[in-house]
Amino acid sequence: MRTLTALPFALFVLAPYTSLQAASLSVAAKADYAAGTQPYSIAAADVDNSSRPDLILANAGGNTVSVLIDKGAGTFKAKVDYATGKVPLGVAVADTNGDGKPDLLVANGGGNSVSVLLGNGNGTFKAKVDYAVGLKPYGVKAADVNSDGKLDLLTANSGGNSASVLLGNGDGTFGAKADFATGSAPLQVVVGDINHDGKADLMTANSTANTVSVLLGNGNGTFKGKTDYITGSAPKDLTLADADRNGQPDLLVANTNGNSVSVLLGNGDGSFKGKTDYATDTAPRGLSVSDANNDGKPDVSTANFNSNTISVLLGNGDGSFQAKADFATGTGPFAVATTDVDRNGKPDWLVANSTGNSASVLLDTTSFQPIGKLKAAVSVPVGPGVGSTVAGDINNDGKPDLVAASYSANTFNVLLGKGNGSFADKVSYPAEGSPEWIALGDINHDGYADLAAVLQADLKILLGKGDGSFMDKMNYAIDISTDNIQLGDLNGDGHTDIVLADETINISVFLGNGDGTFLPKQVFPMNAPTANNVSLALGDINNDGKLDVAATINTFTDTASYFVRVLFGKGDGSFSAQADYPSPTLMSGITLARLNADHYLDIVLTHRFDDTVSVMLGKPGGGFQNSVDYPTGRLPAAVKTADLNADGKTDVIVQSLGDPAITVYFGKGDGTLQGKTTYAINTPEDIAIGDFNRDGKPDLAIPDNIDGTIGLFFNGAP
């Protein structure tokens, strides 16, 4: 399932969002879980659709991969093993066939192959299928390197001094390998767009050459010749992160014989500065990046084979790191991953212990300063009639930008972010009509953000150039006023599709060709009388790996009626069954989110004249429970969700037209909401969310129609 065609190869992003308030690091003693024989690699992913990360380990001595399902509170069930090829050394998790279910990719060092185990979505996996790669593959990754919307497979081949690339077919199968020369004995590979050209580049850690190789991508699945950069002694793992928070990807490398991490700061053009080394404990073998102390700055952790520890080096945010702090693991730690396994908003450490045949889980117990309170709005001038507003990186500099539609000026307004909470002066583009709704996505697979806009009777496509500007592509007639626009992959072909709702209660679908153009629209009648205020949300509601639609229907005939209609996607761009859920009053905004820890998407919607926001918790099969209502300001409209207070639980933001204001509710993680904090703004028109000052916390951008400004509400008020 692809809910949105995302811009690929983003830098390390702090997740969940975090605070500038630094805290002393506190880590609980390890808890060990049995793995297979000689686990060499570890990954964390939600493979059973529970909204909790599970553990996956590649067991070099057992020719298996172990799956440990999270049972809550950072604890795990006993392992289940699945057969792999010979001597599995690396593991990655990705949805290779677009069915919304994570699959496993295992690099088999003794079999010169990668095993692909397709997921069933419930924590179990199908039998392996092997694909030939280079000699003694070690690291494995999945990424779209030929810009076709399908995941490809990459390995670092320690015996072949090469990286293998296998292009994906989008159905979980892969083509024959193509090999690209690297330095000697590469043990790990990473993929990212390090020169901001919208094309995937690859890097390898070369363990006997004491270098990293950088191969810039051509965008078609091939790569230019390598450029090598010196590291410490015996580099065996690496990752990309924005260590100095300047929007450029940097390289961090674990040097096993050097007892160090090398940091190579990126120049943004595909090249890197010389290394700076930071001491770790002995024989660092694996490496991971997270924000361990909640200060919004990337920190680095290493798994230290000889000392049976992890080292945590807190980042200063300028590309440098503090002295290490060490914490005990099982014996022979070989790899480390970081993610929040106990859902408290703090990243934890997961370690593969190669001689202990175990996984160690170390929970982050640091006391963080509570966040989520917003500062008073800072106004950014845009112009009259500012309305629908979206956030995204449209000039590929790693800093969030804003695009705002002005329906009275008939323009699209681009405000390029500086990464410090301020923006360059707006640049306006003629809309050739009154823009009502806008959305961002990579429509033509070039790695740049494109703009889709609803005018009064047209769907307008503007392709991004990657420098913050746009060029006209095409207009498509939509015949009648449209109330909403959503982007997603409805037919599983890896291309961005567009879904619209209009005031005749029809759903219009434009299937994308992947080049910026679309097939003629398909219209799906809702078979309801004329209505208004139709809003849409996209998501996999019934967990079948296909996108569904939830729409608010407000009908006005002799007797008014209100209901939420769910259309279940068939995976080919059309819809099959539908289900209706009555509402007592007229509805405005709708969104889909996970407010509790079950497997199902929940509905959050606003009631325009009832002054409430309602939560309908999802049930098996795509059903929903009765709504629970929470009071809002007067005339609530748009609704969005985010984790504003970094507790790992989804919060709700509501725009109210009658007060006027925005209202924030904090999620409790069980499907209920608590608190109600209101922030005044003159005439709120929409809600956009982004980390505009790059402090690791989500901020809000609220267009103010009468004032002609965007109000920026920065997170983290005292």
Domain residue limits, the chain: 35-279, 386-477
CA dihedral defined by 673, 678, 684, 685, rounded to 10 degrees? 0
pLDDT attached to residue 529: 59
pLDDT tens string 600-644: 999 999 998 899 999 999 999 899 999 999 999 999 999 999 999
What pTM does this model have?
0.84
Distance of CA 104 to the CA centre of its chain: 19
Percentage of residues in the chain having pLDDT higher than 90: 77
pLDDT bracket for residue 531 (50, 70, 90): low
Residue with tokens 């260590």: 243
Closest CA to 184 of 210, 222, 165, 164: 210
- The b/e string for 685-696 (b: 16+ C-beta within 10 A; e otherwise) is bbbbbbbbbbbb
Q: Rounded to an integer, what distance in angstroms lies between the CA atom of residue 638 and that of residue 3?
A: 20
Amino acid (one-letter) located at 503: E
Rg (CA), the chain: 25
Task: Give which of 675, 637, 687 is closest to 658, Cα–Cα.
Answer: 637
439-451 tens-digit pLDDT? 999 999 988 999 9
Q: Does domain 35-279 have CATH number 3.40.640.10?
A: no
**pLDDT of the residue at 294:** 80
Taking 70 as the threshold, does the pLDDT of residue 208 lie above it?
yes
Strand runs labelled E in 37-127 = 39-45, 54-59, 64-68, 70-72, 75-76, 80-83, 88-94, 103-108, 113-117
Q: Judge whether 437 and 482 are in contact, CB under 8 Å.
A: yes
Per-residue model confidence as pLDDT tens digits over 514-523: 999 999 999 9
Secondary structure letter of residue 409 according to DSSP: T
Q: pLDDT tens digit string along 78-98? A: 999 999 999 999 999 999 998
Residue 407's nearest CA partner among 351, 447, 454, 366 is: 454
Tell me if 138 sits within 8 A of 158, measured CB to CB. Answer: yes
Q: State both tokens at 662.
A: 């925005």
Q: Is 648 left (phi over 0), alpha (psi -120 to 50) or beta?
A: left
Residue 558 — pLDDT band, cuts 50, 70, 90? low
Please determine, for residue 420, whether its predicted confidence score (pLDDT) is greater than 70: yes
Q: pLDDT value at position 6?
A: 34
